[in-house]
Amino acid sequence: MAEAYENISLNITKPYTVCESFLGNITVWNFAVYLFINVIAVTENLLLLFAVYKDPLKCLRNSSTYFIVNAAIADVLSILYFTGELLVSQTEYKTARCFPEPWFTINLAYGHLAYFLSFPSATVLALERYLSIAHPLLHQVKVTFCVVCTCVTLVWLVCFIPAAVSAAFVHDLFVYIGVFSTFPLTFYLTTIVLYFLAFISIRRQRLLLITDNSKSETVKRMLKLRLKNQNRFLATVSIVNLNLVLGMLPLLLAVISDYLISIQLISVNTKEQLLYFFCISYFASLAINPFLYIWRLAKYRKTFLVLYFKKA
C-alpha cells in the first residue's frame, strides 16, 4: 500500500505534487471511447456555432443566442483541453502535468479557465432570460448587442482570476480544491435563483391574464403564446444547466478524490475506477448540449434542417 501512495502527500498542508494524468490510466479502449465522445462533442458545438454564424432563417440574432454561443465556445475549449490531455498520454510525457515550466502552468491555467467559464456563462444566460420574462420592455431597450458583448467580456475576465489562482496554488491541495469548488458553486446557486424567479414570473403573468378583463382576446392569445415560448426556452436552458451540473460534478469529485487518497480514505485503484465514470459523464455532458437546443427549440431545429439538410 505504501508504494501506491509514494508520490502523494498525506498531509493536506504539504505540497501536492502528483505527476499523473487526471484522466487516470489511459488504455487503448478508454482512449478510443474518450476520443470518440470528444470528436462528437466538438463537431456538434462547431456545427451549432456555424449555424448561428450563417443564420439562414435570420432568426438567431438575439441576446439569448449570443450567450448560448459563449457557452458553446466554453464547451469547445474544454473539449480541446481534454483532447489534448488524451493525445499527450500517448507521448513520453504521459500527461501535461509533467510538462516543464512554464508550459505546465500555462496548460493548467487554460484548462481551469475553460472549466470555470461554463458557470458564469450559464448565470448571465439565466439573468438575460429573467429580464426577458419579468421585465420585457427593459430587456428590449437595454439588452443590446453592446451590453451582451460587455457581459461576455466580464465573464471571461472574472474567470481569469480563479483560473490563475488555482494554477498558481495547484501544489496546495486545500487552496486548489477550495477555489475549484467555491467559484462554480457560487455561480450555480445564483443561476438556480434566477431560473426560479423567472418561472415564478411566468406563473404570475399567466394568473394576471386570467383575471385581466381590460385586454381583448386577441391580445391575451398573443401574450399566452409569448409566455408559452418563454417557458419552453426557459425549460430548455434549465435542462442545459442541469446537464452542466451532471457533467461538472463528477469532474469536481475527481479533484476531491485526490484529497481522499492523500488521507487514505480511498485507494488509487478505487479512484481509477471512479475516473472512468467521471470522464464519461463530463464528456457526454459537453456533447449533449447542442442536441438539447435542436430538440427543444424550433428556431435551432429549423436552422439546422435548412443549413445542413437543405430542407425548406
10-residue stretch averages of pLDDT, the chain, 312 residues long: 40 46 74 89 93 92 91 91 83 73 80 87 88 86 91 93 79 69 84 85 77 71 74 75 66 60 57 72 83 86 91 71
Whole-number pLDDT of residue 182: 83
Q: Is 310 left (phi over 0), alpha (psi -120 to 50) or beta?
A: left
Residues in the chain: 312
Give the largest CA-CA distance in the chain.
Answer: 78
Cα 253 to Cα 92, 157, 311: the distances in Å are: 28, 26, 44
d(CA 270, CA 235): 37
Give me the pLDDT at residue 147, please. 93
pLDDT of residue 261: 55
Task: For residue 13, give the amino acid letter.
Answer: T
- pLDDT value for 258: 58
Q: Residue ranges of the domains in the chain? A: 3-309
CA 163 to CA 302: how far, in whole Å?
38
Residue 2 has a pLDDT of 40
Q: State how far the alpha carbon of 109 is from the alpha carbons of 66, 165, 208, in Å.
A: 25, 9, 50
The 10 Å CB-count burial string (b at 16+, else e) for 73-111 is bbbbbbbebbbebbebbeeeeebbbebeeeebeebbbbb
The pLDDT value given to residue 251 = 60
- The H-assigned helical ranges of 56-172 are 63-88, 103-134, 136-142, 145-168
In CATH, the number for domain 3-309 is: 1.20.1070.10
